[in-house]
Amino acid sequence: MSKTDRIYVGNGVEKFDGDMVEFSLNLSKLKNDAGSHMFEYNGDKFIKLKVAKMKQANEYGKTHYVEVNTYKPEVKEKSSDDLPF
């Protein structure tokens, strides 16, 4: 995946000697830019996110960023004659 394919939806700051990362999400951007990456399971909606440490803090002191996990595995259709072995 190239950096241009990434969807950044928030950032945060490390606290308590790295034991916690407090972050905020841009819900508008999450809905508008990442809606196609949401999925449903047992009637609930989910999205996979990644929280990663920046190489250095930005001008606002933020140390981490939040990115949408855009990986979508290829779904193979099972035919009725597929054997499980």
- Spell out the SS3 assignment of the chain: CCHHHCCEEEEEEEEHHHCEEEEEECHHHHHHHHHHHCEEECCEEECCEEEEECCCCCCCCCCEEEEECCCCCCCCCCCCCCCCC
* pLDDT score, position 72: 77
List pLDDT tens digits, range 24-65.
Answer: 999 999 999 998 899 999 999 999 999 999 999 999 999 999
- pTM here is 0.73
